[in-house]
Structure 1
Amino acid sequence: MSSTTGGPAAAFTKTPGWLDWYPNPSRPRFALPPGAVDAHCHVFGPGAEFPYAPERKYTPCDAGKDRLFALRDHLGVSRNVVVQATCHGADNSAMVDAVRAAGGRARGVATVRPDIADAELRRLDAAGVRGVRFNFLKRLVDSAPKDDLRAIAEKVAPLGWHVVIYFEAADLAELEGFFGSLPTPLVVDHMGRPDVRKPVDGEEFDRFLRFVDRNSGDGGSGGRGVWVKTSCPERLSVSGPPALDGESQAYQDVVPFARRVVREFPDRVLWGSDWPHPNLTGHMPDDGLLVDWIPWIAETAEQQRKLLVDNPMRLYWPEESAG
């Protein structure tokens, strides 16, 4: 893939050092249960059709819906939840286009501004959007003004939407009061990004799990509830991917953290691939190995069914999972 893409009006140059998605993922050895949902993935452009936001912090490679759907089918996934990428800002066109093209097999998570009109929210809802994302990573956003974010949460709550929150583990102490005050269910990206060099039973991760437990509610899309994505081991790991001989299991240092979340909150965990893995600098993961990582963290068939099917269906397709 060339570093410059699109026609003269929409040409862009990838951020130097950008890693493109893994081109030939292995076929997973672990067979996903029927109806499995990839509850965290993205689309980038294509830039010629869906230009990247002027205020973006990075310029990615093209990774459009056709590539996403091909990966879905290759891995044995049935459905996707497409999360708005920060490189597109609050223009949700690429994400909505992907959700619509999936023919009911995708839902979306949007980025919106506080002044968004109710009519636009209803349009997004009709297109399949079921949540908004609040990003607190300073390297990805300039600021996250809490008053504006609370105003957004209050606007989307009547639609039954949730708020996806993305933050660093060390920042939870400052943010948890704000999170607990929001009038919507919460979905935590990537287990709150724990520092896996610290103990899994240490104070920092214990604090995160207490936060989840304290704000549990009923876990349903119409109640409060906190859901946790056991995603992105490649982003959290220090030990890294397996050796080239293929005998070592990938991202072993993240397993205890994800396994603990699955054991303690089996009805409120989700899994996602994070394809096409934005802003990774060390390596680009083989998405087949990310699927093979699942039975290490969800050890029983019941845990796997809840993680991959029951929980995401209850959150994103409640009309199909009821009863």
Structure 2
Amino acid sequence: MSIPHTLGTAAPRFAVPADACDSHIHIYDRRFASLGDPARALADATAGDYRRLQQRMGSSRSVVVTPTVYGTDNAVTLDAIQQLGVQRTRGVAVLHPDVDDATLQALDAGGVRGIRFTLFDPATAVTSFDMIAPLARRIAPLGWHVQLHFRGDQIVEQQALIESLPCPMVFDHMARLPHPQGAAHPAFDIVGRLLDAGRAWVKLSGAYLDAGEPDSRAGVVRAWVKRAPERLVWGSDWPHPTEQKKGVPDDAALLDRWAEAVGDEALCRRILVENPAVLYGF
């Protein structure tokens, strides 16, 4: 039986280790109200649909990231954590600085371990750069992190803000280093210094973003693995919301290409199992 929002049905050739974590997925469930155009809340991208992808891929842990179409309503993420299993699922929420303490405590109890700022396109964002510092101060006592979806140029522009934050940072989608510069872009060293200091993490996800020729992101994967393998996690980005018009990928093929780029079984295990256990508290 086919699985929505992915091509193919075969399992990966790569032998996925026990307790592997997919650290970046989105759940869309039309039981929950979305903002704006209801068509942006993808059909067939529920927790039940994702569980079928888990079975195909061989992973067992996951991190649910609230999609922008739900604004600051994180009910869909909390529900997905319950459906996928609270012992093996965590969440990343979207919030505004006026969030009250009771809501923060409820999110923490529900499995949320961070908040996301999707600002690569400020025109469509539900948060803003000026919200980051006050929210970082609010969540720091909880031990949460801020997840930053910035383009490489934005990382350079916002360097002072990023370096001032009092909590750990997670950079989405390999820090969105543009092609063809890749690891030669100045954002690589800005993020790299934060990794070296134990202040940040990078998600090896979204291989189709910022890409040039096929597999151009393999060099970026290798650069991050060489720089700080202990500060990396992997994510599928299912159901691939940015790729809906272009055509969704084969998730097993994406994972196989990622494992080939990493090139070492022990490092793959570290990135899939050990690192996310530290970051997300499994």
Partner of 1:116: 99
Match among 12, 17, 34 for residue 33 of structure 1: 17
Name the one with the larger helix percent. 2
Match among 191, 206, 213 for residue 232 of structure 1: 206
Q: Secondary structure at the match of 1:51?
A: coil
How far, CA to CA, are the matches of 2:237 and 2:123 in structure 1? 16
> CA 1:175–1:143 in 2, change beyond 3 Å: closer, same or farther?
farther
Give the superposition deviation at 1:217: 6.4
1:92 partnered with 2:92: no
Output aligned runs, 1:124-203, within 5 Å: 124-138=107-121, 141-142=124-125, 144-198=127-181, 200-202=182-184
Output aligned runs, 1:37-52, within 5 Å: 37-45=21-29, 47=30, 49-52=31-34
RMSD over equivalenced CA pairs, Å? 2.0
Q: Which of 146-155 and 90-99 deviates more?
A: 146-155
Give the superposition deviation at 1:133: 0.2
Partner of 1:257: 220
State the AA in 2 paired with 1:253: S
Give the superposition deviation at 1:124: 0.4
Partner of 2:192: 213
Partner of 1:105: 88
Contact 1:108–1:129 at 8 Å: present in 2 too?
A: yes
Q: Secondary structure at the match of 1:80?
A: strand
How far, CA to CA, are the matches of 1:31 and 1:284 in structure 2? 23
Partner of 1:75: 57
Partner of 1:295: 259
State the AA in 2 paired with 1:154: R
TM-score (norm 1): 0.80
Contact 2:25–2:63 at 8 Å: present in 1 too?
A: yes
State the AA in 2 paired with 1:165: L
Give the superposition deviation at 1:87: 1.1
How far, CA to CA, are the matches of 1:139 and 1:277 in structure 2? 20
Stretches of structure 2 lacking an aligned partner (at least 5 in a row): none
Q: Which structure has the larger Rg?
A: 1
State the AA in 1 paired with 2:14: F
How far, CA to CA, are the matches of 1:268 and 1:286 in structure 2? 26
How far, CA to CA, are the matches of 1:300 and 1:155 in structure 2? 39
Q: Matched residues, percent identical? A: 35
Give the superposition deviation at 1:148: 2.3
How far, CA to CA, are the matches of 1:23 and 1:176 in structure 2? 38
Contact 1:43–1:94 at 8 Å: present in 2 too?
A: yes
Contact 2:156–2:190 at 8 Å: present in 1 too?
A: no
Give the superposition deviation at 1:201: 5.0
> CA 1:217–1:57 in 2, change beyond 3 Å: closer, same or farther?
farther
> CA 1:36–1:167 in 2, change beyond 3 Å: closer, same or farther?
same
Give the superposition deviation at 1:141: 2.8
Q: Secondary structure at the match of 1:192?
A: helix
> CA 1:22–1:289 in 2, change beyond 3 Å: closer, same or farther?
same
How far, CA to CA, are the matches of 1:72 and 1:140 in structure 2? 33
TM-score (norm 2): 0.91
Contact 2:179–2:212 at 8 Å: present in 1 too?
A: yes
How far, CA to CA, are the matches of 1:145 and 1:23 in structure 2? 34
State the Cα deviation string for residues 64-95 of structure 1 (Å, max 9, x = none): 10011111121000100011111111111111
> CA 1:180–1:106 in 2, change beyond 3 Å: closer, same or farther?
same
